[in-house]
Amino acid sequence: MNIKISEHAAQRMAERNISEDVVRRAFDAEDWESYDVSEVDEFAVIVTKTINRKKWCFVFNWETATLITCYPRR
């Protein structure tokens, strides 16, 4: 899947030490552990995936194919 990464998402990825390559591979695989529609934005979905034994959430706008942000689950 060819996704765009927003400036905000790129900043958060850098802060949280997750590379663009890792994120792009996660979206290429599309084997999400969970998939929910955001309660705030009908075009945003929240997907989770475990990467290197750490669970991550990715907020993605499916209409524009843009990653909005990502964060590790606690």
Q: What is the pLDDT of residues 32-65, one digit of tens each?
A: 999 999 999 999 999 999 998 999 999 999 999 9
Average pLDDT over residues 8-28: 95
pTM of model > 0.85: yes
Compute φ and ψ for 56, nearest 5 degrees. Answer: -120, 145
Mapping DSSP onto H, E and C, the string for 8-34 reads HHHHHHHHCCCCHHHHHHHHHHCCCCE
Domain segments of the chain: what residues? 4-72
Band (74; pLDDT cuts 50, 70, 90): confident
CA atoms within 13 A on the CB side of 65: 7
Residues pairing with 54 in the sheet: 51
The pLDDT score that the predictor gives to residue 30 is: 82
